[in-house]
Structure 1
């Protein structure tokens, strides 16, 4: 009998396998412990002072009254007769701006993907770069172009020999919606393009070969397959528009008070920090609800891709 198949050799091989398995298990436990220590380090030294502590302080401040713990700030916030108008204005601008930006973003993504033209790739790269711009920069750009003293407005005045500049709509709800649509539409384009890229083009060609026109293909084939990416981009657009402040600060008028502006005014003008904290907590709850919905849709998108 060969020495390789002897009982001693088999025992040594089994022992070696057991030692190797034990070594791998020990290495895995060490990696898990290191991961736990890294997570603890991030929680204590990064997330703690930068995220967790400020949020806890914000909630505690909103619950602080003259005699300790109190819900007076929330009661004053919701009983204030101006609150309903502020929330109504916030929601009106949110749905108008984010809705139009979502429609424009999906339309741009569809044009870039299904009807490519010379320079389409360059436009896509510009839209990706555009999301890195600060929002107030877009507001100032619109002022320089379409404000009452902007180049376009002055050019139209001189061209048609008008007594006053014809464009005077930026400093109000019209200008805010225009700026937010221009700024946040690219945030919808990228997720929609990624969703289109995962489509099975054979299904689209099959639908066309069966006589379906462009609208039927779009609404009966493309949208049902790509809706997770479209929905994720739309919800992200709503989330970012809800928290927009720079555009409102630049283009908003004295009569256009939204929730972020009201919180800012309570903290810096009225010096009512508990009221500002209560409004911030309400806005944080709205933002976290939208973010949870975004995560759910995005998880379904990733799961569908698998």
Structure 2
């Protein structure tokens, strides 16, 4: 029967089916092309990892671990046993943790306080100070140590000025070469690393909550404790953990300002490798320090991810 007399049979149906088939074929071809590009990109990334990360990162780390497991008769844990059973090593770890917590804690508190002043109490030149702090993180750490020497050393400008003003025989600061100078230099250098993530967290605050708390009669300290800190703690925690991580791995300041009595884990590893020529012991200490650093970095990534998720929920 002709399609003119049967409404269920439409002349355009075969054309529509053909168009749909073409669209499906095009979609399948596009998906296949996307998969090919993804595989090609993964191949390039793997090639880059093999060429660049292999000889520069993976191979040295593998060699470090194998060296730490090298004993008199092949693979063993002799170097780790000697490292942890040595009283000097325990003293080194204690000194490292003491300098770490003292420096990073003070730097974190100072960084958060400075960020709060720059954000909530802006003053003329606050933007310039913020830009300087951003630039300051690019400076090498040992430069801060030498700056302190040029200021407070025996021939430093501040020492000479005090000597002339107060008619003193000597005005050098005895604390500089030791734990006091190391903590001061690390606080000065690592405080800006806390300022930036804290400012980023403050920028995400809903200021209507802060204004509402102030309108209800809350003091500045109460607003900070009840409103600002609970909302901004992921950024503050991320900056604090980053400060601890960088302070743990500090070497330049310790090498310049540390005395013979202030031996931390990085200095002990350097001394074992270059002075004592005990490479397995140095490798064992390096692996221990690497484990500490990776643990802090994993905690930093977790807190930073939570901060990013909170920023996304706020949007």
Please indicate, yes or no, whether the TM-score normalized by the shorter chain is above 0.5: yes
* Match in the other structure for 2:58: 52
Match of 1:277 in 2: 283
Residue 262 of structure 1 is matched in structure 2 by 268
- Alignment-derived partner of residue 104 in structure 1: 110
2:152–2:172 Cα contact (<8 Å) kept? no
Give the distance between the partners of 1:209 and 1:13, measured in 2 at CA: 65
Q: Which residue of structure 2 lines up, in the alignment, with residue 296 of structure 1?
A: 302
In structure 2, the residue corresponding to 1:178 is in which secondary structure? helix
Q: Is the 8 A contact 1:147 1:169 kept in 2?
A: no
> Match of 2:141?
135
The answer to whether 1:95 aligns with 2:86 is: no
Equivalent residue number for residue 202 of structure 1: 208
Partner of residue 226, structure 2: 220
1:122-161 aligned within 5 A: 122-161=128-167
Partner Cα separation in structure 1 for residue 259 and residue 14 of structure 2: 89
Q: Deviations over 1:145-199 (max 9, x none)?
A: 0112211011101100012115221100000000000000000000000000000
How far the C-alpha of 1:39 sits from its partner, in A, is 2.1
The aligned residue for residue 253 of structure 1 is 259
Distance 1:208 1:5, change over 3 A: farther
- In 2, Cα distance between equivalents of 1:192 and 1:42: 35
Counterpart CA distance in 2 for 1:123 and 1:226 is 21
The answer (yes or no) to whether the contact 1:148–1:168 under 8 Å persists in 2 is no
Partner Cα separation in structure 1 for residue 121 and residue 17 of structure 2: 68
TM-score normalised by length of structure 2: 0.95
1:207/1:5 Cα in 2 relative to 1: closer, same or farther (>3 Å)? farther
> After superposition, where does 1:75-94 map in structure 2 within 5 Å?
75-94=81-100
Question: How many angstroms apart in 2 are the aligned matches of 1:38 and 1:197?
Answer: 38
In structure 2, the residue corresponding to 1:215 is in which secondary structure? helix
**Preserved CA contact (<8 Å) 2:265 2:289:** yes
Distance in 1 between the 2:175 and 2:295 partners?
33
Partner Cα distance (1:122, 1:38) in 2: 42
Q: 1:8 offset after TM fit, Å?
A: 2.3
> Do the aligned partners of residues 148 and 169 (structure 1) sit closer, same or farther apart at CA in structure 2, a change above 3 Å counting?
farther
C-alpha distance in 2 between matches for 1:20 and 1:218: 58
**Counterpart residue number, 1:173:** 179
CA distance in 2, matches of 1:147, 1:221: 44
Give the superposition deviation at 1:64: 0.5
Q: Could you list the runs of 5+ residues in structure 1 that have no partner in the other structure? A: none
Q: Deviations over 1:122-167 (max 9, x none)?
A: 1000000000000000100010001122110111011000121152
- Which has the larger displacement, 242-251 or 164-173? 164-173
Number of residue pairs the alignment of both structures matches = 304
